[in-house]
Amino acid sequence: MSTLERVFHSVLFELLAVTLSITGLAIFTEHELSSLSGTMVVIATIAMVWNYGFNLIFDRFATGEKNRRPLSLRIAHVILFEAGLLVLTIPVMAYILNVSLWQAFVMDLGVTVFITIYAFIFNFSYDHIRVIVRQNLMTRKHIEALR
């Protein structure tokens, strides 16, 4: 995956994740939507940087076609990614929302459970759609070359 595609993947992932997370937190907490939005934007920024770096390293160890990765590897990927992100974001959430580390942990854990499921579905879908898009691009180039 090129750097440009890694950035696209991270931004698309985070835009959807932020929107869904703000909605969930607004439903389950009494915090202002503006506070939650600001918090999630900061956390999403941390997550994008973490996503890029983590996946760069992970892909060096997990080689081969991404759409052929076994379920066990996908589960390990999500768990390792989310555990690292929790370590980075709990103090940030506590500070911005002016809550205890415990309250931030509970809130962040709720978001993490949701995002873990979301990440699995998103990455599985992305990897398979990517193969289809690349095949279509190659077919178009081949057809154009024949003309």
For the cut 80, the answer to whether the pLDDT of residue 127 exceeds it is yes
Query: What residues does each domain of the chain span?
Result: 3-146
d(CA 6, CA 2): 6
- Look at residue 141 in the predicted model and tell me its pLDDT: 80
Residue whose C-alpha is closest to residue 84's, from 39, 47, 34: 47
Cβ within 8 Å of residue 36, ≥6 positions away: 22, 25, 26, 29, 97
- Look at residue 104 in the predicted model and tell me its pLDDT: 92
For the cut 90, the answer to whether the pLDDT of residue 52 exceeds it is no
Q: How far is CA 77 from CA 55, 64, 127, in A?
A: 9, 15, 14
Q: Mean pLDDT in the chain?
A: 87
